[in-house]
Chains A and B, each alone.
Chain A
């Protein structure tokens, strides 16, 4: 099958399945109303029907459409605005790093977690001055701690055990009480 066709079909099929699933789940809401009158399922069901119709049209359009023929003007404009995706894997590495960061925040605390995460982001972003990576990471973690704890007064996670001591010591040095 044509890869472009598959790329068009997959999102629409997923959306159609989602619409069906959500419609089914909406039927299970505790409506608390007598039959024949509107309930909390009405609005979600309307949306599901519209979503299903839209996806079906998207699928039909993908199946019957001829190869895209964009005008020269459109192409010129698109090339001016768009940059092609060249590193899709890096995106998922960044997503995983972000997930790990959020998961680790409670146990290792904001300061340490942010330093490690910032370092990871810098490397993912293409920084290759290895000696500078930890320095930049530390600066970012400190600056963000000051901004959010000292200026915006947000109680960021301190971590547990040894990490809590490190966070408290750093806060003392930064004058955060």
Chain B
């Protein structure tokens, strides 16, 4: 009953005029950035971040969360209509969404995508609201070792999901953790890696890392590509309409809906498994186990519903560990965490324990439901207007993004040093993209590094420097074991894969 009461209060807060306005603005921005090729919902939340500095915490987070939600859905329009995946998570929609649009017109696949986004968003939101309190209760029992174990597990999961580039992901994570060490150490007050530069004494601002790596770095990469976007040249303008599938048709693919909703929600909780990974896995599962698996790729509804449910369901899944444990699992939740920190609020179990801040959490949880319904309404009614943004020239879009990144970062502390920092991290972000180093581990490392270090140091002080305490406590031991396994398993898989490839290569030579 407490849950419903708190959620009710959250809904009342969401329907306050200013919060509701921010939600609608967020949904529109999310739709726009996910439709504009080359931008994405991560860029959307980054560009919106400076506007949240002067807001209260609730509208600020509602704005960013609604951008994130709408961003996982908006890209389906360009994918289905023009064969341009707005976001990487929309790629699986090409196989069945675009094919169905070619065969039966775009209205039907767009309708399927809308229904999928609605189901995925609502199911995962309900699941996460139910999970929030138990997760907080578990987190409240965490001691320093457990917290360190949980953070380490989160970070290693992000690394392990880097696929073939495991060593690069690890290097990226280490760089992020080193960046977080810059400045005055909070336990001993010692200056670390400041090299006598006064501005480094305060450490590197999170905003600079986020905006530089994800924002400016991305723009530099696109400049290097000549601001070309795959597929846009051949884009043919189609009539934009959405027609809902019939109940009978939805019932026929109930298996796909249930499977994708469960997988999407569960994977959302796993750090690093963002909307893209979830969308591909949901599609892959359908291809392997669906009754209609042979029809996938030919314009079958399951091929649209599964990835779309997966993408949208992962958002709520990501938000809950961030709110209850303070551990962001994706780039977008890292930005939302930064928004919390900029407002002087540390997400984590204490946020739910305090009645005043619990309202903030339930307001955000309530906003997830309103966001899902709102984005589907916008998708249904206003999409004809929204897709017109495709006509904005890339050079103009590019200039707007760069100016937002630079001035937005300046606005945080009115400091030109932050602009220099952004430029430095922008160049690092570009080099990362160029040499195929994943960006997310570095950013998450920079965000979670201080938290990990504080808990490690506390544990070391409590146990008088005995590091085995991390492994001998039941919960922290299990988490440390899972962290080690999450690195070992993909490493071993890579080695086996490499050995097999080598064998094949040698056989071919013979």
Contact = CB atoms under 8 A, between A and B. Distances in A.
Nearest to A87: B226
A54 B460 contact: no
Interface stretch (B367-375, B378-386, B391-399): B391-399
A19 to B, nearest CB: 8
A72 interface: no
Contacts of B434: 85
A36 B460 CA distance: 12
Contact of B402 (A22, A121, A126): A121
B161 interface: no
B181 A47 contact: yes
Nearest to A43: B453
B251 interface: no
Contacts of A169: none
A173 to B, nearest CB: 20
Interface in A37-82: 37-44, 47-48, 50-51, 54-55, 57-58, 61, 65-67, 69, 77, 80-82
A128 to B, nearest CB: 9
Nearest to A62: B167
A6 B439 CA distance: 22
Contacts of B2: none
Contacts of A43: 177, 181, 452-453, 456-457
Contacts of A82: 230
A136 B407 contact: no
Contacts of A69: 501, 504-505
A90 B54 contact: no
B57 interface: no
A83 B233 CA distance: 13
A22 B465 contact: no
Contacts of B18: none
B185 interface: yes
Contacts of A42: 456-457, 460
A108 interface: no
B403 A140 contact: yes
Contact of B398 (A12, A61, A121): A121
B91 interface: yes
A114 B403 contact: yes
B171 A51 contact: yes
B498 A65 contact: yes
A4 to B, nearest CB: 12
A88 interface: yes
A45 B50 CA distance: 34
Contacts of B460: 38, 42
Interface string A111-123: 0001001100110
Interface string A20-39: 00100110011111001111
Interface stretch (B137-145, B188-196, B305-313, B357-365): B188-196
A82 B477 CA distance: 41
A163 interface: no
Given A83-B225, A102-B416, A106-B416, A136 B396 contact: yes
Contacts of A26: 192
B141 to A, nearest CB: 25
Interface stretch (B58-66, B103-111, B346-354, B419-427): B419-427
B395 A86 contact: no
Contacts of B188: 31-33, 39-40
A102 B219 CA distance: 17
A138 interface: no
A170 interface: no
B190 A32 contact: yes
Nearest to A60: B167
A86 B192 contact: no
B407 A156 contact: yes
Contact of B178 (A41, A51, A102): A51
B190 A22 contact: no
Contacts of A155: 414
A140 B226 contact: no
A95 B423 contact: yes
B489 to A, nearest CB: 16
A61 B170 CA distance: 14
Nearest to B177: A47
A148 B171 contact: no
B88 interface: yes
Contact of B423 (A12, A51, A102): A102
B488 interface: no
Contacts of B501: 66, 69
B456 to A, nearest CB: 6
Given A38-B465, A81-B91, A148-B407, A94 B416 contact: no
B174 A50 contact: yes
A22 B167 CA distance: 19
Interface in B58-115: 85, 88, 91, 94
A83 to B, nearest CB: 4
A154 interface: yes
B502 interface: yes
B406 A102 contact: yes
Contacts of B453: 43
B435 interface: yes
Contacts of B406: 98, 101-102
- Of all A-B residue pairs in the complex, the 8 with the closest CB atoms, nearest first, are A125-B395, A51-B174, A121-B399, A40-B185, A40-B190, A154-B411, A85-B224, A40-B188
Interface of B: 50-51, 53-54, 85, 88, 91, 94, 167-168, 170-171, 174-175, 177-178, 181, 185, 187-193, 216, 219-221, 223-230, 393-396, 398-400, 402-403, 406-407, 410-411, 414, 416, 419-420, 423, 426-427, 430, 434-435, 437, 452-453, 456-457, 460-461, 464-465, 498, 501-502, 504-505
8 contacts: A39-B190, A43-B453, A43-B457, A48-B174, A80-B94, A80-B230, A98-B402, A156-B407
Interface of A: 7, 11-12, 15, 19, 22, 25-26, 29-33, 36-44, 47-48, 50-51, 54-55, 57-58, 61, 65-67, 69, 77, 80-88, 90-91, 94-95, 98-99, 101-102, 105-106, 110, 114, 117-118, 121-122, 124-127, 136, 140, 144, 148, 152-157
